[in-house]
Amino acid sequence: MTTQEAIKVVDAHHQKYEKSCSPSIIEILLKLECRVKPDYYGQQDAYKNQNIGLNFARGKTIEKVMFHQHNTQTDGPFITKIQDELKAGRFVGIYTLNDGSTTDYHGWVAIGIQNDKIILRSKYSELGNGEGQKTAEHSLNILEAVPPKMTDLVFYTLL
């Protein structure tokens, strides 16, 4: 899937609850891998408005996709792992500090690399009432000495 195709998948997705960015990330990854239909919201429906982080998916298989936790000792630096996964054609879920948000964290999906920048997309539930149509855009400069404060990564294996 190209970066432009991935952008369309993310744009069509909704974050249904104010604090459901973690389940939303997993749903987006499943949609990007064509493992679920565009109207799939099973993870958000299960966890609702709980602030659960990415731990809920680690080591879990959902729709024949096994999710893994990043380990710096075995997987290397965050930025290297993200680049490696994208180059292999897989997307990555990223958790970053997001000062001022409801939880001070937010989840993103790395969907491509363009001009030494990792392209990130996410969704926000603007009012926390299920509309969740706003697409957030961000990028990480691969060449920066100090990347943004990434706190967690989730990557996957297709089964």
Does an H or E element contain 85, and which?
helix 78-87
Q: Residue 145's pLDDT is what?
A: 47
Residue with tokens 């799939």, as numbered in its chain: 40
Answer for the pair 13, 26: CB distance below 8 angstroms, yes or no.
no
Distances (CA, A) of 79 to 38, 75, 127, 149: 29, 10, 32, 11
Segment 86-97 mean pLDDT: 91
Of residues 80 and 40, more confidently modeled = 40
Predicted TM-score (pTM) of this structure? 0.89
Say if residue 147's pLDDT is above 60.
no
Domains recognised in the chain with CATH numbers: 3-158 (3.90.70)
Rounded to 5, what percent of the chain is helix, strand, coil?
30, 30, 40
pLDDT band of residue 116 (cuts 50, 70, 90) is confident
Name the pLDDT band for 42 (thresholds 50, 70, 90).
Answer: very high
Distance CA 135, CA 158 (A): 26
Looking at residue 18, what is its pLDDT? 82
pLDDT score of 26 more than 60: yes
Of 33-47, 50-64, 109-123, 145-159, give the range with the top mean pLDDT: 33-47
